[in-house]
Amino acid sequence: MKEKTNRIVFLDYLRVIACFMVVLVHACEFYYCTDTGVILANDTDRLWVSIIDGAFRQSVPLFVMASSFLLLPLTTSSTVFFKRRFSRVFVPFVIWSLLYAVVPVITGAIDGDIAERVSNILYTANADSGHLWFIYMLIGVYLAMPIISPWLSRVSRRGEEIFLAIWFLTTFTGYLRPLTGYVWGEVFWNKFHALYYFSGYIGYVVLAHYIRKYVNWSLKKSVAIGVPLILVGFAFTAGLFYTHSMESTDYAYAEQSWYFCTFNVAMMTAGTFLILRHVNYSGQWLYGPVQSVSKISYGIYLMHIFVLGFMQQLIAPHLSTLPAILAVGTATFLACAIITRLISLIPGSKWVVG
């Protein structure tokens, strides 16, 4: 693992790739998201949405693993840790949440009550800024880090493996519930099943720590294990969406295999992370731009929904589905990178773009 200027090189590549994946995933939504459910215009759209969106579902877990790989176990006090996360994540999140709540109404893009939309932020993101759900989740992960950090410092390798095995078991619950109704002690008055506290994104936190501490595989071994994980996970992720989207317009059913804490997405995430960990090229012609974009990736994520709709209207009418998704996603990513970079040159910009 090669470091340059105190940065872990592969994490910069990972952040850029994951951020680009997120933008492409959201570019797909124009072809299936409607007010009445999942509706695709034709089988060509169904195929390309299934392939592109299915191939990039690991984007969000990769972001979680990147943060965890870098931060855990904590080397500072909880106070210092939260101060740094507050300025880096929380304040820009609040600013952009307010922008998404106010700007669309002022510009007439949507009808809505500004006061209601602002108050909604206390609970969740507004529907037209749904990508901000990720920040709510990430804040929760950060709140848990000082709690699990001492455990990670002392737990044995076997203890960590047992945790990960139990967590992986929980990634099947989304597929069991439609068949069984409830799992492992769930009833209508209790949603906290037996393995609830081992479930969710905390598994990716522990997985990142485990890989950093115990997995020192060669590139050959990482590829030999990582590629099958990616391919099997992708086949299930894309294939089930393709099938389910023909059977129902219900989002929960059609997108069942797209949930980030399912076994198939976990397989794709682990495989991708294992392979990307070997990317250590630091030649300035490539790594220079990658490092620059990596530093502003949070700002790109926060603003990209504002730009995405404009690019869709500008580009998509002139292209068929596949090139339209790729072109809209790429143009949005590049435009947001430029805008975020310009904002970052302004003093105090860390409060806006992180």
**pLDDT tens-digit profile of 189-232?**
998 999 999 999 999 999 999 999 999 999 999 999 999 999 99
What's the whole-number mean pLDDT along residues 24-52? 91
Tell me the two tokens of residue 222: 């990482």
Question: pLDDT tens for residues 265-274?
Answer: 999 999 999 9
What is the pLDDT confidence band of residue 6, given thresholds at 50, 70 and 90? low
What is the pLDDT confidence band of residue 243, given thresholds at 50, 70 and 90? very high
Residue 126 confidence (pLDDT): 86
The percent of residues above 70 in pLDDT, for the chain, comes to 98
What's the whole-number mean pLDDT along residues 75-98? 88
Q: CB of 16 within 8 A of CB of 333?
A: no
Q: CB of 85 within 8 A of CB of 74?
A: no
What is the pLDDT confidence band of residue 78, given thresholds at 50, 70 and 90? confident
pLDDT at 313 over 90: yes
Residue 8 confidence (pLDDT): 86
pLDDT at 34 over 90: no
pLDDT at 30 over 60: yes
| C-alpha span between 251 and 117 (Å, rounded) | 23
Residue 224 confidence (pLDDT): 96
pLDDT at 116 over 50: yes
| C-alpha span between 21 and 300 (Å, rounded) | 12
Tell me the two tokens of residue 11: 């994490």
What is the β-pairing status of strands 37-38 and 33-34? antiparallel
SS3 content of the chain, % helix, strand, coil (to 5): 75, 5, 25
Residue 1 confidence (pLDDT): 47
Rg (CA), the chain: 20
Residue 335 confidence (pLDDT): 96
Give how far Cα 278 sits from Cα of 8, 40, 75, 217, 265, Å: 11, 38, 25, 9, 21
Whole-model pTM?
Answer: 0.91
| C-alpha span between 124 and 139 (Å, rounded) | 13
| C-alpha span between 340 and 21 (Å, rounded) | 18
pLDDT at 2 over 60: no
| C-alpha span between 339 and 299 (Å, rounded) | 9
| C-alpha span between 98 and 114 (Å, rounded) | 10
What's the whole-number mean pLDDT along residues 69-80? 86
What's the whole-number mean pLDDT along residues 289-308? 93
